Structure 1
Amino acid sequence: MKPKAMCGATEVYPVDILEDDPQAYQTAAEGYYDLLRDGGQTSTEVFSLPTGEQVRLESSSLCFCSMYCDEPQHKILVLVNPQDTKTVVAVYLKESWWSMEDVLRTSDPTREGLMKVQSFGERIVLFVLNTIVFGRLERNLDDDDMFFLPHPTKEQAKIMWRDGAAVGFYSIKRKGSLCGGGTSACYLLPVFDTVFVRRKNRCQGLGTAMLRDFCDTFQEDEALGISCPISPAMYKVLRQFLLTYPGERGRLWEVEPPGAWGQRFNIWLKVYLQEAKLQDGVDHQRTRNDTELPRICQKREGSWDAPETFLA
């Protein structure tokens, strides 16, 4: 069911062998699906789940998923769990079925740390991490956890590789890029848009590393955005990051597109107000601090006017 390993490698994975020809893979997948659906190919093969359960490879267990939010016609064929048809268990690539974990692995030792998404294979990894692993497998569907749509076709993103596996990603809205379909508005600053780290790799500093990489990538920009709304978990990461790197406190803003000054709120200030509220048991929106917010957050002559010490 899978290609043989290359010479010198113990295993090969899709990200290492896929050519940048997504249409060819989609055409092959459509042909395979049509054969199963029309009875032209009777499959007795099964795919084994980690639980030991086996899923028969037949058209009723297959569906096509759109890879991009802006070009839904580009799709990949996936195998779903018959007991939960919204849960993907394998992806059809290069005339083979690959488990989710295999799609996220690499045999290339140079893939380590944060690496920019460039190839079609890396786009597949980004899609699986975002839409399948986060979107269904590792997100608590019973609470208000944030939900990410598939990324646009040319979304700038970086994948975090560790010990031969993709363990997270973050994506960026570049300054000057369109805010979305149906609008001519463009982002006025670079924005850290979506971020995800797999559960088993959390509390290891990876979120902080991604923020550090984002800030370093745009060293020349005076202001950087974090896409609104920010989840409570992400606020904890931001708090730790800004405690560790105080020089970034005046640069990071929670923003709504396109990120004009009236659409920004300084993250360090918000962290300070939240912690002060917890410490004092006072609603700061009804205190003198609230009257100071316009002055605190105001842009004055190229510099950020803010209190010198928060959370000292």
Structure 2
Amino acid sequence: MKCNKVKLEDSSVCFVPLYRNNPTCKLLLLTDPKDKETVVAVYLNQCWWPVEDVVKTADPSRDGLISVQTFGERIVLFVLNYVIFGMLEGSSANDAFFLPHSATECAKILWRNGEAVAFYSVKMKGGLCDGTTSQCYLLPVLDTIFVRRKYRRGGLGMKMLHDFCQSFVAEDALGISCPISAAMYQVCQKFLQTYPEEQKRLWEVEAPGDWSQRVNIWLKIQMESYPSGKAEVGSRMEKAQTSKPRQSDVDQMNKGLECDTFRMSKPSSLQS
């Protein structure tokens, strides 16, 4: 298999936090020297891995929605959210990085033949809204959702929205984080037309989600008071802190490794 080669330069590598609430746990990313917004590889297991390899496993039978539990799955979630959506496949109008999920974020990844193609995350009822307040969510809230570009228009957004609703059948109300993009409203419209029993349950909410912070999604659709256009569906846009590696770190990466060549196999930490 042909290997891709990118020259390893100090200006092309940076550390980024793996988790929102733990800035000490970081991953090292390699960007294209000609385009700093294009991530080409992630440093795992003392080797550089192309982004597309990180979101694949050695098990092609892995399929469907699977809860994120292992450290390897957390890395896949980060790459889908921060790298692929936030930097590679997000709207060109977005000029901000995308905030990583927390270390304990409730999330599911949608797999197709061993490849991670989509994800969604949920803020649980009773969970803290953020680290600076004592307010807790008053209902389960679908907070982030993303489908890779090449897998769109295949019903995966509806599949994840249905899975979210079925995961909380005992709840009278479910939320989707505000603001909801135009693309997500299209998914919601099709979903609520297909499952009319959910029309009273789905609300666009601001945290923590009391009644003054909710608007019924089906009502907004009927009133045509939702955004138009083809905005991307995904996480909130916020700046994530990045940092440059020390020279000693760069030297360590080069020691005993052929770092300018990507090895085209699966990281053992991601195999399953």
Task: Determine if the TM-score, normalized by the shorter chain, exceeds 0.5.
Answer: yes
Determine the C-alpha separation between the residues in 2 that align with 1:149 and 1:182: 16
- Provide TM-score, normalisation by structure 2: 0.79
Partner of 2:69: 118
Contact 2:174 2:202 in 1 (8 A): yes
Partner of 1:182: 132
Greater shift after overlay, 71-80 or 233-242? 71-80
| Counterpart AA for 1:157 | A
Q: Which runs of 5+ in 1 are unaligned?
A: 1-46, 279-312
SS of residue in 2 equivalent to 1:55: coil
| Counterpart AA for 1:55 | V
SS of residue in 2 equivalent to 1:207: helix
Partner of 2:26: 75
* Number of corresponding residues: 227
The structure, 1 or 2, with the larger RCO (C-alpha pairs under 8 Å, 6+ apart) is: 2
- The alpha-carbon distance between structure 1 residues 124 and 143, as it changes in their structure 2 partners (threshold 3 A), is closer
Partner of 2:86: 135
Partner of 1:62: 13
Runs of 4+, deviation exceeding 4 Å: none
1:256 aligns with 2:189: no
Partner of 1:299: none
| Counterpart AA for 1:101 | E
Greater shift after overlay, 132-141 or 235-244? 132-141
Larger radius of gyration: 1
Q: What is the aligned counterpart of 1:269 among 197, 207, 219?
A: 219
Q: CA deviation at 1:143?
A: 5.8
The 5-angstrom pairing of residues 224-263 of structure 1 reads 224-263=174-213
- The alpha-carbon distance between structure 1 residues 91 and 143, as it changes in their structure 2 partners (threshold 3 A), is closer
Contact 1:48 1:55 in 2 (8 A): no
Q: CA deviation at 1:142?
A: 2.4
Partner of 1:153: 103
Contact 2:60 2:115 in 1 (8 A): no
Q: CA deviation at 1:275?
A: 7.6
Please provide the CA RMSD for this pair.
2.1
Q: CA deviation at 1:86?
A: 2.8
Q: CA deviation at 1:147?
A: 6.7
Partner of 1:193: 143
Q: Deviations over 1:45-77 (max 9, x none)?
A: xx954xxxx311343322211111111111011
Contact 1:112 1:162 in 2 (8 A): yes
Determine the C-alpha separation between the residues in 2 that align with 1:48 and 1:86: 22
Determine the C-alpha separation between the residues in 1 that align with 2:128 and 2:97: 21
- Provide TM-score, normalisation by structure 1: 0.69
Identity %: 59
- The alpha-carbon distance between structure 1 residues 247 and 95, as it changes in their structure 2 partners (threshold 3 A), is same
Partner of 1:206: 156
- The alpha-carbon distance between structure 1 residues 235 and 228, as it changes in their structure 2 partners (threshold 3 A), is same
